[in-house]
Amino acid sequence: MRNSSNMLDFSAIKKAAQSHEAAMTKFLRDLIRLPGESCAEKEVAARIVKEMKKTGFDSAGIDKMGNAIGYMGKGKTLIAIDGHIDTVGVGNRDNWKFDPYEGYESKTEIGGRGASDQLGGIVSAVYGAKIMKDLKLLNDRYKIMVTGTVQEEDCDGLCWEYIIKECKIKPEFVVLTEPTDGKIARGQRGRMEIRVEVKGISCHGSAPERGDNAIFKMGEILAEVKALNNKLKKDPFLGKGTLTVSQIYFSSPSRCAVADMCAISIDRRLTWGETYQSALKEISALPKVKKYKAKVSMYKYSEPSYTGLVYPIDCYFPTWVIPENARPARAMVKAYEGIAALPNGKATVDKWTFSTNGVSIMGRNKIPCIGFGPGKENQAHAPNEKTWKADLVRCAAVYAALPNIYLQEK
């Protein structure tokens, strides 16, 4: 598989990937037909393990959390390719032009919930490993681990906290197969989920002056929270930290009474240099938060996986970035440029806007991540979601080429 210049035979890899387009299309459409929101991925995981066994993985199975994990090769260096297998719901069906679970297929596209976010990624990962084996790219220096991970949409990175901490598995680096719009991603902003709660005193609504309306208090706090968004830190690469109020709650004896509690949830996106401590401090320091003695806290996630396993964690998902000249990044650029006929011959190295499992792998555990996946970021969580067959093929080929290039890098 090498020519006289000691480089991979990219044309053979591309040809092999193209030969699997029909099989990858069928596999992806099968996955789309199996609804698998967070904590309900059982059938999706089983279908992935079935495909791993069919394509010749040395071993494939499901761990106690419900992650589908397969291995190919016997080498010492462990390289992982990760794709989360849960999806969000479909929302308002009236916004869909087709059945989101039956999906559709054209000459170039595959539609359906999860097509881009991110069932296509696990499909390309499985077939990338198959190509490695079929073309004898596997050697005694590395071993490939393909993970179809659960609960990412509810709690990104939780699956990998379990894999790293409880299963004691630590790859040398991880390829994240979230959609990258034909680019390479080397980082993302972090995020956290904040709750702000203020108390009041209820009374009959006919005499509101007798009580202390928690909703009115929260109204003043909301104005300060909104203004804070414009003052948050900006990083040259990752961009600005942001916040938005995503939910609001209240308690009141009735619709004819003054509210005695009001709470909001804040979706806080963290740029480089921001931490959960600094973000909580910013909210706690707001004048109206202090005036009304509002409680500021971070949410905790403790929902059971589909296997029943509960693995509690704070809802803090750290920012992460690897340098552009880091070994996994350099190897990915060379693999992509070798496989793809890029207009200017150069890969674009960028970042994700949304969050990924890298918050655990790199953010918490300092295992380098590099991102490259089929589909487009703007398809994530959107109605009429789709991906492109050419992306599935190209990504499978890039994944197949990557490990040997990585091992050649110094």
pLDDT at 381: 95
Q: 216-225 as b/e, with b when 16 or more CB fall inside 10 Å?
A: ebbeebbeeb
> In Å, how far are 7, 23, 134, 326 from 16, measured between CA atoms?
17, 12, 9, 29
pLDDT at 368: 98
Given 152, 193, 235, 274, the catalytic residue? 152
Identify whether 220 is a catalytic site residue. Answer: no
Given 86, 193, 235, 391, the catalytic residue? 86
pLDDT at 5: 30
CA torsion sign for 64, 143, 172, 392 is negative
Those residues whose C-beta lies under 8 Å from the C-beta of residue 277, and which sit 6 or more positions away, are none
CA–CA gap between residue 322 and residue 361 (Å, rounded):
12
Q: Domain 190-301, what architecture?
A: 2-Layer Sandwich (3.30)
pLDDT at 6: 53
pLDDT at 341: 76
Q: Which amino acid is at 334?
A: K
| CATH label, 10-188+319-408, candidates 3.30.1490.100, 3.90.1150.10, 2.60.40.420, 3.40.630.10 | 3.40.630.10
User: What does the angle CA 81 – CA 69 – CA 122 come to, to the nearest 5 degrees?
Assistant: 45
Residues of the chain with pLDDT under 50: 1-5
Q: What stretch(es) of the chain map to CATH 3.40.630.10?
A: 10-188+319-408
Identify whether 86 is a catalytic site residue. Answer: yes
DSSP alpha helix (H) spans, 306-388: 327-339, 358-361
pLDDT at 410: 75
For residue 272, how many C-alpha atoms fall within 13 Å in the half-sphere facing its CB? 13
pTM exceeding the 0.85 threshold for the entire prediction = yes
Residue 299 has φ and ψ, to the nearest 5°, of: -65, 160
The answer to whether residues 296 and 289 touch, using CB atoms and an 8 Å cutoff, is yes
Q: 35-49 as b/e, with b when 16 or more CB fall inside 10 Å?
A: bbbbbbbbebbebbb
Which residue, chain included where needed, has tokens 């029909």?
22
Q: What stretch(es) of the chain map to CATH 3.30.70.360?
A: 190-301
pLDDT in tens, 173-189: 999 999 999 999 999 99
The answer to whether residues 87 and 36 touch, using CB atoms and an 8 Å cutoff, is yes
